């Protein structure tokens, strides 16, 4: 039996082979990606994708723990990384440590991810020195939507330098990888060359050391909006709605359930009884 990949394994993939990742929030989805992804991210996108929240700001520790524990039950090989929700780490390194330790203890995650660059470097260093692998997340950081003023491309023009400074700061602080969200492709390539930890792109560049997408986005389940950086590898949302519509019309026409899906008075003689 294969053992799960570690933060060190992910870090060592830089310059060797592209790192593959998707988000997951449930056991069955985690099972589907375990053999195909190097790490699975329990993203705080769960709030928007599965709970109908308007942003990630309302996501709680309890939601992350519930979904994280479910994902962990579906993984054997892939590493599990879990997002720290808004408000659980920004106040102080001590606050971050307490909540990161709780997330890991109660879910089995092997690392946490948190948003922020230069301003979070001290916190990242504090966690890493105390045994918690940290994945950083810079560029578009959705928990800062209210100060960023929208989900726009980050790091263009004069904003390139600060983004590079963020990448250097988190790498220097000991992060084992850094997510680059919604930044120009050439800047993502530049950052990938500058830092010695893997860059994980989402809306960044194929030149990043790895890629991550929100699974419901790439499967076509989440239709509320579709960022340019999402490629739809399937259209499962429309397929699911078609199935639901078929079921509804068969129920209304009394076509479902048919004999195949109902039970006779007496058990059949030969075939083993099925419930």
- As measured in angstroms, the least distance from the Cβ of 189 to ligand KIV is 19
Give least dist CB 209 to Na ion, A: 19
Residue 213's alpha-carbon distances to 21, 111, 164, 189, in angstroms, are 7, 18, 22, 18
| Residue 76 CA: distances (Å) to CA of 27, 47, 70, 247 | 11, 25, 13, 35
Angle in degrees, CA 62, 139, 48, rounded to 5 = 35
Binders of ligand KIV in range 101-130 (CB under 6 A): none
Burial class (CB in 10 A: 0-12, 13-18, 19+), 28: exposed
3-state percent breakdown (helix, strand, coil) of the chain, nearest 5:
40, 15, 45
Of the candidates 181, 235, 250, 260, the residue annotated as catalytic is 181
Please indicate whether residue 181 is annotated as part of the active site: yes
44 or 166: CB nearest ligand KIV: 44
If the CB atoms of residues 224 and 243 are measured against ligand KIV, the closer one turns out to be 224
Cβ(146)–Cβ(209) below 8 Å: no
Rule CB under 6 A: say whether 210 interacts with ligand KIV: no
Q: Which of residues 216-275 bind ligand KIV (CB under 6 A)?
A: none
Q: Which 3 state secondary structure label does DSSP give 240? A: helix
Q: Does residue number 209 form part of the binding site for ligand KIV (CB under 6 A)?
A: no
Closest CB 6 distance from ligand KIV, rounded Å: 20
Site for ligand KIV in 47-86 (CB under 6 A): 83
**Binding residues with ligand KIV: total (CB under 6 A):** 11
Name the residue nearer to ligand KIV (CB basis): 134 or 202.
202
Q: How far apart are CA 7 and CA 40, in angstroms?
A: 12
CB of 45 to Na ion, least distance (A): 5
| Cβ atoms < 10 Å from Cβ of 231 | 9
Q: Which residues are catalytic?
A: 181
Return residues touching ligand KIV (CB under 6 A). Answer: 23, 41, 43-45, 83, 137, 179, 202, 212, 214
């Amino acid at each position: 039996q294969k053992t799960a990949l570690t933060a060190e394994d992910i870090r060592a993939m830089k310059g060797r082979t592209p790192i593959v990742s998707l988000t997951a929030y449930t056991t069955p989805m985690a099972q589907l990606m375990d053999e195909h992804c190097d790490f699975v991210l329990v993203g705080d996108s769960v709030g928007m994708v599965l709970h109908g929240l308007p942003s990630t700001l309302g996501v709680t520790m309890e939601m992350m723990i519930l979904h994280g524990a479910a994902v962990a039950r579906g993984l054997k090989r892939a590493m599990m990384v879990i997002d720290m929700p808004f408000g659980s780490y920004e106040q102080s390194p001590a606050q971050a440590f307490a909540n990161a330790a709780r997330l890991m203890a109660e879910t089995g995650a092997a690392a946490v991810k948190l948003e922020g660059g230069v301003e979070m470097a001290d916190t990242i260093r504090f966690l890493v020195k105390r045994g918690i692998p940290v994945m950083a997340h810079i560029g578009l950081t959705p928990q800062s939507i209210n100060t960023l003023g929208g989900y726009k491309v980050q790091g263009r023009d004069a904003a390139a330098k600060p983004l590079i400074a963020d990448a250097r700061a988190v790498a220097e602080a000991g992060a084992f990888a850094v997510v680059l969200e919604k930044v120009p492709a050439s800047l993502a390539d530049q950052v990938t060359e500058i830092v010695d930890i893997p860059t994980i792109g989402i809306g960044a560049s194929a030149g990043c050391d790895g890629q991550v997408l929100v699974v419901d986005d790439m499967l076509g389940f989440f239709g509320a909006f579709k960022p340019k950086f999402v490629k739809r590898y399937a259209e499962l949302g429309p397929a699911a709605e078609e199935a639901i519509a078929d079921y509804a019309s068969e129920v209304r026409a009394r076509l479902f359930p048919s004999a195949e899906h109902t039970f006779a008075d007496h058990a059949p003689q030969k075939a083993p009884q099925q419930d």
